[in-house]
Amino acid sequence: MSRSHAVPSRRTFMQVMAGASALVATPGVVARGHAASSAPPHAPVFFNDAEWKFLNAACARLIPGDALGPDAVALGVPRFIDLQMDTPYGRGQLWYMHEPFVAGPANLGYQLPHAPCELYRRGIAGANAWCLQHEGSDFANLPAARQDEVLTMMEKGEMAFDDIPSDMFFEQLLSNTMEGAFADPVHGGNIGLKSWTMIGFPGARADFMDWVDQYGVAYPLGSVSISGETA
Amino acid sequence: MDATRLKPVDVVVIGGGWAGSIMAKEMTEAGQKVVMLERGPDRSTAVEGAYPGSIDELEGNYRYRLFQDLSKSTVTIRNNMRQRALPYRRMAAFLPGEGVGGAGLHWSGVHFRMPPDDLILRSKVIERYGKSFIPEGMNLQDYGVTYDELEPFFDRAEKVFGTSGEPYMINGQVVGKGNVFSPSRSQPFPLPALKDVHTAHLFRKAATEAGFHPYSMPAANASAQYTNPYGAQMGPCNFCGYCSGYACYMYSKASPNVNILPVLRRDPLFELRTHAHVLRVEMDSTKTRATGVTYVDREGRTWTQPAELVIISAFQFHNVRLMLLSGIGKPYDPVANEGVVGRNFVYQNVTTSFVWLNRNIETEQFIGTGGGGVAFDDFNSENFDHGPLGFVGGSPVWVNQAGVKAIAAAQAGGPPGTPRWGSAWKKGLVDTYRHSLRIDAHGANMAYRDVFLDLDPTWKDAYGLPLLRMTFDWKDNDIRMNRYVVDRIGEVARAMDARQVQLTRREFGVPFDTRKYQTTHLGGGAVMGTDPATSALNRYLQAWDVPNVFVIGANAFPQGTGYNPTGMVAALAYWSAYHIRQTYLKNPGPLVSL
């Protein structure tokens, strides 16, 4: 029961985008038409080699490649996280970081003195140290199935990395992985808008005037980034 | 530090959100010279709302572009008086705003009038069920103002906001298919109701089949082009799905920035100062009169702005904190059960249930508008008999699909029991995003003797002043109310031919969790009323002890309500302003004599 639909021409859309691009922070803008079937080349700014290997391996298990869509590495998630470390968020400048830091019940929230970048530095070192001690190998070199088991233990808080309970580090990693995979590609992840395509999220279309009450008709237009990139 | 004394003005307004903007507009109309102090930056739809950069979910909902800068100031929270409160270091459970427009820039747009019975809840409960029905420790109170008194001001706020909705009764005559439990109105809504999105349409049908009375939610998201009484213009909502957390690039969602400030900014009687962080209201030696306010600017310089009238109209808990820091009103002492500032702190009791439909139905959750949706009020307010149920309070139930975006969908994941990552998560996510819908029980939270606000003994803000401390937990009465109403959602889900249902009930013994977003609808702490022993403000929102201070906001609610607070806050602002203009300015002094 489709009907004809006035789609703004791509040219008009791109003009709108070009006019607004100055307002958008665009770390790691993806070149239009970039084919993302494997990890994009990215020299990490914040993470060292060992950390980068951990991050790539862990993200690829949190969002594995399968019939539904690519893995987190192909989506550029490690690059996204690396770029986020050098932002006010990564430096902990969005958080109340005044002393004293006092431990308390989990439901009263985060009480450690570490910014996100410090959580990664300590958390990755701790996770790799745990793997070396218990598995004889760092995390990245474990078989995928064993990586999943280690991540599950981390998720359940069964380890501690210095003063960081493993579930706290895991939640940081998981939430940033989801952000990277599903945020607008201008932030360096969601390469090719493939996560949005997977779930059917149209991104910056943001105009459903004609579709609100077309019950039962699937929205026909593909995903678009605020940069103008289309899927 | 020595503050530089500025040239006196008539009125100083603290905070540039809805309450402050309404009060500033009303005071300039009365010929008063007004200075508005806003601690955040200036904001406008033309900049913060510019498409497409504005509709960036990461920046809007995960980096909190329009929200309070917690690095400078936050609150501490504990569940009970035996605990040590700890700082709310990261945004999560609630998201207060900052900058011009305040929470009125990033809000969703749900725009209700307070149910008449909620305004007289103590009297109503005693009349219907007897005084012994009120649980021990519950501070149930009346507002001291009735629906009939507020009706012209609800109407005024709707006209300024360009509110869309379907009336039920106008001047006692049934006129439409609106909420059968809603009180009579003097005028229709300024705009017709918004269209139902697919999920709301399905919910309307199922709720009707289940025997309830669904209606279109009143929304300050314009269903058509509109010009408000100030001459401010709005465009029709296109259901883009970026309301909560964003400035509306379509000029469709009402905000102080769109609906009031464009007019105020041109008024020579009005001056806006941004990055002006108020430290305290200055008092004279008698402590019964405010002389002005002292604030810090962006460069760290301190200024005192003398004024004849001080209007505290920041966000709910900032208002309470400013009163405590300034010595306005007697601080509440829960042990002695004396004092009023900090008393009756309340939240809202919201749980979200999920319904999975057959896979040939696409729910298109990305289509949405912040205030729109379909609700039923059969279990809200005093619309049902609480006698056999044994709890006070109620909850509207609704599908308010405000636009579910990709990161939020990914974090919500799949049905109960689905892992939160890995291939099984991915499968559950895709199925859930495409074929599910969300139903909220948006319930009231009552006030209790041991739930309150005071100043924290340990932690301070960037200016060296104590943080506000929240002592809050869920109580048995409110948990039972939620569980009863969520069971009714189960009846609707059955009528929807659901494939799977997750009924989310509040659980006994599970404390308030500051790590999970619930709602920013905080209330109380400096409540209005008729008795200075149990209220900080009189029924005109004037401080009992300092008559040239008015405190406008959800802080005035004596207990929680099932509805979103903004419509009531706006109506209270117009109500208070009316009485300031009619009476106070002509003869400054207490508007209620004891």
Residue B336: DSSP 8-state: T
Which of A66, A96, A201 has its CB closest to that of B426? A66
Scanning B162-260, the segments in alpha helix (DSSP H) are: 198-209, 256-259
- Give the mean model confidence (pLDDT) for residues A126-132: 98
- What number is the average pLDDT over the span A48-60? 98
Q: Is residue B594 part of a domain?
A: no
- For B270-311, the pLDDT digits (tens) are 999 999 999 999 999 999 999 999 999 999 999 999 999 999
Distance of residue A83 Cα from the nearest chain B Cα, in angstroms: 13
Look at chain B and report how many structural domains it folds into: 1
Burial degree of A218 (CB within 10 A; 0-12, 13-18, 19+): exposed
Q: Count chain A–chain B contacts defined by CB atoms under 8 A.
A: 201
C-alpha distance across the termini of chain B, in Å: 39
Residue B557 near residue B523 (C-beta atoms within 8 A) = yes
Inter-chain residue contact A96 with B71, CB threshold 8 Å: yes
CB atoms B511 and A105 under 8 Å? yes
Q: How far apart are CA B423 and CA A61, in angstroms?
A: 9
* Residues 6+ away with beta carbon under 8 Å from B88: A96, A109, B70, B74, B75, B76, B77, B514
CA–CA separation, B360 and B81 (whole Å): 52
Give start and end residues of each alpha helix (H) in B399-438: 406-412, 422-435
| Residue B125 located in a structural domain | yes
Q: What is the DSSP letter of B58?
A: I
Are B274 and B38 in contact by the 8 Å Cβ rule? The answer is: yes
Tell the residue number behind the tokens 């939430």, with chain if given.
A175
Average pLDDT estimate for B327-346: 98
Q: How far is A104 from chain B (nearest CA, A)?
A: 7
Measure CB to CB from residue B420 to each of A20, A64, A174 and give the nearest one.
Answer: A174
Please indicate, yes or no, if residue B278 is contained in any of the structural domains: yes
pLDDT-based confidence at residue B465 (cuts at 50, 70, 90): very high
Residue A41, pLDDT score: 85
Chain B partners within 8 Å of A200 (Cβ): 362, 366, 430, 433-434
Residue B592 falls inside a structural domain: no
Residue B543 has pLDDT above 50, yes or no: yes
CA dist B524 to A152, B64, B452, Å? Answer: 42, 25, 9
Alpha carbon distances (Å) from B533 to A230, B332, B338? 63, 10, 7
Q: Does A31 score more than 60 pLDDT?
A: no
Is the Cβ pair B88, A203 closer than 8 Å?
Answer: no
Closest chain B C-alpha to A36 CA, distance in angstroms: 19
Is the separation of the CB atoms in B102 and B16 below 8 Å?
A: yes
Q: pLDDT averaged over chain B?
A: 98
Q: What is the pLDDT of residue A19?
A: 34
Indicate which of B69, B242, B421, B472 best probes the interface with A, i.e. most A CBs within 10 Å of its own CB.
B421
**A39-43, B336-340, B518-522, B557-561: segment of lowest average pLDDT:** A39-43
Residue A184 and residue B56: Cβ atoms within 8 Å? yes
Asked whether the predicted pLDDT for residue A134 surpasses 70, the reply is yes
pLDDT in tens, A67-97: 999 999 999 999 999 999 999 999 999 999 9
Task: Measure B403 CA to nearest chain A CA, in Å.
Answer: 10
Share of chain A above pLDDT 90, in %: 81
The alpha-carbon gap from A135 to the nearest alpha carbon of chain B, in Å, equals 22
Q: State whether B56 and A95 contact (CB < 8 Å).
A: no
Q: Cβ separation of A208 and B87 shorter than 8 Å? A: no
Nearest to A226 among B55, B406, B515 (CB): B55
Quick check: B322 pLDDT over 70? Answer: yes
Chain B neighbors of A94, CB-CB under 8 A: 63-64, 69-71, 90-91
| Residue B363: pLDDT over 70 | yes
ipTM above 0.85, yes or no: yes
Nearest-by-Cβ selection for A209 from B62, B197, B239: B239
The predicted structure's pLDDT at residue A18? 35
CA–CA dist A90, A80 (Å, integer): 11
Residue of A nearest to B435 (CA): A199
Q: List, in sequence order, the alpha helices (H) in B83-241.
A: 103-106, 116-119, 121-129, 147-161, 198-209
Using the structure block, give the residue that is written with the tokens 């899927």: A231
Asked if residue B257 belongs to a domain, the reply is yes
Task: Count CB neighbours of A162 within 10 A.
Answer: 12
Q: How confident is the model at residue A13 (pLDDT cuts 50, 70, 90)?
A: very low
The domain that holds B39 is classified in CATH as: 3.50.50.60
Q: Please report whether residue B73 resides in a domain.
A: yes
Q: Using pLDDT thresholds of 50, 70 and 90, give the confidence band for residue B360.
A: very high
B2 — pLDDT class (breaks 50, 70, 90): confident
Is-contact B374 B216, C-beta < 8 A? yes
Q: Is residue B593 part of a domain?
A: no
Residues 6 or more apart whose CB falls under 8 angstroms from that of B237 comprise: B194, B221, B222, B223, B250, B252, B253, B369, B372
Rounded to a whole number of angstroms, the distance from the CA of B376 to the nearest CA of chain A is: 20
What pLDDT is attached to residue B106?
Answer: 97
Q: Which of A119, A154, A196, A199 to mutate to test the interface with B (most CBs of B within 10 A)?
A: A199
Residues of A in contact with B405 (CB under 8 A): 201
Q: Measured at the alpha carbon of residue A26, what is the angle toward residues A22 and A32, in degrees to the nearest 5?
A: 100
Question: Cβ of B198 and A69 within 8 Å?
Answer: no
> Residue B92, CB half-sphere, CA atoms under 13 Å: how many?
18
Q: Where are the beta strands (DSSP E) in B45-140?
A: 75-78, 86-87
**pLDDT at A12 exceeding the cut of 50:** no
Spell out which residues of chain B touch residue A87, defining contact as CB-CB under 8 Å: 63
Give the residue from B86, B225, B423, B437 with the most A CB atoms within 10 Å of its CB, the best one to mutate.
Answer: B86
Other CB atoms within a 10 A radius of the CB of residue B225 amount to: 13
- Placement of tokens 């937990």 in the chain: B473
Q: How confident is the model over A144-155, as pLDDT tens digits?
A: 999 999 999 999
In a domain, B239, yes or no: yes
Going by pLDDT thresholds of 50, 70 and 90, the confidence category of residue A39 is low
Active-site amino acid positions of B: 521
pLDDT band at B594 (very low <50, low <70, confident <90, very high): confident
Q: Do B71 and A186 touch (CB under 8 A)?
A: no
**Average pLDDT estimate for A177-188:** 98
A59, A152, A174, A201: best to mutate for the B interface, most B CBs within 10 A = A201
* pLDDT of B518 higher than 60: yes
Q: What percent of chain B has pLDDT over 70?
A: 100
pLDDT at A33 over 70: no
Parent domain of B54: 4-586
Average pLDDT estimate for A9-27: 35
Q: Quick check: B410 and A69 CB within 8 A?
A: no
Q: In which band, very low, low, confident or very high, does the pLDDT at A5 lie, cut at 50, 70 and 90?
A: very low
- In whole angstroms, give the CA distance from residue B346 to residue B523: 5
